[in-house]
């Protein structure tokens, strides 16, 4: 359950307690009063459910209230951190506030951790460094950007003026990149993307036990491990025919680089695929969804897209994501007692063992740091955005996704007369925490 879901759950629990009190009253009243109470109870349930739904979709008013009144809030077994500087303090103190994913990574890889689930350690440094050798930043301009632009344009141009932004574009292109650049292809792009989404939800977004989600994630993990194992075995039979990430890993293996055995290669590629695809798809879809809500921003972003002004397109996309982010925040576990925001009136000591939620979404609207955070502005400094996290576990793929997310949006923005499809089809719908569909129409083909 998400943090916002927990708040909604508390509202529903409050209504349930009221129901119990009303039931007691009902036993001692006349039938007509009882009927009124039943109606009141139904109204309370409807109100609580409505508040919960609204809160899930619009958490910012609650975050704004917390920033002003309880910026570091203890809620049961959670500590919610809402201010910009406090969120960055949590994420920069990785020795105290540690990632919580290790056991789940061991479950999905059948025994081994992945560097996203590691604390700062020699193993962490080695694995990240090895992956940096095979995911080369010089490839971004020469291979990755052209691949994304070509793939996204082809999809949009072939859509016939009716496009599901998620199912047809933002879910497909990142999966295609895994096949074309990384060297790992699933049964098809959509299946690989769906495996990644359910595994990512299980790893990063499920705070409480969910048996159905766990079962689905472990099944998807087994399938993905098999695909990667098969790709490694097949590539060993056909070496030197591609210059992709998998080939480079095997070259390091041949050179005797430690930690480049088949199992380590599989687990590292597994973790990168799971960490990259669902969030990339979600970010691009949510940015487009937000721009569709803002006609002036949409028009200006389209003008920049058609002019080939990628920097301005990027500014529109990441500002849109500030209002419509992939998720509200990230979890950390306090390894020691720690006084957060020490020296300020909001300072609180977080006890060892507490789960801390660094609410990045709230931080990016903190009026004590950002000028006019309720305004949509593209002149904000990039360090006011934390879309890729902060600190030790800043997104491994940020250098790719700084380009990939805006380029996916750009392929849509270059179209003319964009509008949502009719009714619910034109709204962003979710499958769990990740976008499932957003259908748009455009009257003229994109001017590529």
Q: How confident is the model over 60-95, as pLDDT tens digits?
A: 899 999 999 999 999 988 999 999 999 999 999 999
Cβ pair 114, 267 in contact under 8 A = yes
What mean pLDDT, rounded, does the chain reach? 89
Averaged pLDDT for residues 374-394: 95
Distance CA 84, CA 370 (A): 9
Centre a 10 Å sphere on the Cβ of residue 58 and count the other Cβ atoms it contains. Answer: 11
Distance CA 364, CA 402 (A): 17
- Inter-axis angle of helices 262-292 and 245-254, nearest 10: 160
Cβ pair 173, 152 in contact under 8 A = yes
The candidate with the shortest Cα–Cα distance to 131, out of 118, 142, 148, 146, is 118
The pTM assigned to this predicted structure is 0.86
Pairwise pLDDT comparison (151 vs 203), residue with the higher score: 151
Q: What's residue 26's pLDDT? A: 47
The answer on pLDDT for 432 being more than 50 is yes
Going 45 to 430 to 437 to 224, the CA torsion angle's sign is negative
Q: What's residue 43's pLDDT? A: 59
List the domains of the chain with CATH numbers.
59-441 (1.10.630.10)
Cβ pair 301, 291 in contact under 8 A = yes
Pairwise pLDDT comparison (204 vs 245), residue with the higher score: 245
* Residue 20: band (very low, low, confident or very high) from pLDDT cuts 50, 70, 90: low
Q: What is the DSSP letter of 416?
A: B
Residue written as token pair 């705070």: 207
Contacts with 149 (C-beta within 8 Å, 6 or more apart), sequence order: 407, 410, 411
Q: Residues 110-165: pLDDT tens digits?
A: 988 888 889 999 999 999 999 999 999 999 999 999 999 999 999 999 999 999 99
Q: What's residue 205's pLDDT? A: 79
Distance CA 245, CA 180 (A): 9
* Residue 361: band (very low, low, confident or very high) from pLDDT cuts 50, 70, 90: very high
Distance CA 80, CA 87 (A): 10
The answer on pLDDT for 32 being more than 90 is no
């Amino acid at each position: 359950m998400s943090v916002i879901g927990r708040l909604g759950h508390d509202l529903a629990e409050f209504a349930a307690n009221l129901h119990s009190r009303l039931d007691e009253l009902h036993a001692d009243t006349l039938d007509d009063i009882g009927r009124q109470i039943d109606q009141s109870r139904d109204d309370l349930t409807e109100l609580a459910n409505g508040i919960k739904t609204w809160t899930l979709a619009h958490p910012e008013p609650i975050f704004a209230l917390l920033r002003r009144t309880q910026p570091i809030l203890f809620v049961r077994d959670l500590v919610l951190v809402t201010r910009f500087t406090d969120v960055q303090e949590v994420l920069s103190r990785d020795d105290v506030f540690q990632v919580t994913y290790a056991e789940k990574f061991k479950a999905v890889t059948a025994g081994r951790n992945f560097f996203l689930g590691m604390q700062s350690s020699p193993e962490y440094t080695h694995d990240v460094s090895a992956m940096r050798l095979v995911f080369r930043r010089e490839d971004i301009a020469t291979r990755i950007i052209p691949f994304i632009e070509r793939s996204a344009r082809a999809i949009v141009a072939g859509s016939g003026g009716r496009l599901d932004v998620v199912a047809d574009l933002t879910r497909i292109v990142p999966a295609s990149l895994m096949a074309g650049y990384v060297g790992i292809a699933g049964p098809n792009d959509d299946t690989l993307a769906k495996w990644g989404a359910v595994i990512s939800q299980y790893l990063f977004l499920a705070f409480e036990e969910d048996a159905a989600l766990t079962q689905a994630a472990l099944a998807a993990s087994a399938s993905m491990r098999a695909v990667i194992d098969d790709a490694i075995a097949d590539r060993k039979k056909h070496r030197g025919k591609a210059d992709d990430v998998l080939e480079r890993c095997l070259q390091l293996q041949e050179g005797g680089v430690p930690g480049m055995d088949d199992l380590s290669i599989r687990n590292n590629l597994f973790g990168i695929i799971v960490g990259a695809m669902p969030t990339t798809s979600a970010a691009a879809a949510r940015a487009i969804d937000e721009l569709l809500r803002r006609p002036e921003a949409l028009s200006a972003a389209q003008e920049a897209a058609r002019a080939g002004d990628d920097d301005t397109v990027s500014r529109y996309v990441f500002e849109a994501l500030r209002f419509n982010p992939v998720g509200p925040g990230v979890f950390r576990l306090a390894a020691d007692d720690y006084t957060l925001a020490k020296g300020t009136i909001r300072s609180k000591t977080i006890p060892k063992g507490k789960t801390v939620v660094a609410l990045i979404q709230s931080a990016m609207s903190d009026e004590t740091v950002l000028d006019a955070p309720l305004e949509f502005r593209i002149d904000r400094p990039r360090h006011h955005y934390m879309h890729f996290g902060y600190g030790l576990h800043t997104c491994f793929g940020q250098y790719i996704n700084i380009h990939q997310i805006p380029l996916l949006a750009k392929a849509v923005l270059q179209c003319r007369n964009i509008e949502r499809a009719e009714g619910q089809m034109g709204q962003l719908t979710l499958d769990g925490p990740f976008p499932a569909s957003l259908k748009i129409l455009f009257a003229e083909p994109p001017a590529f």
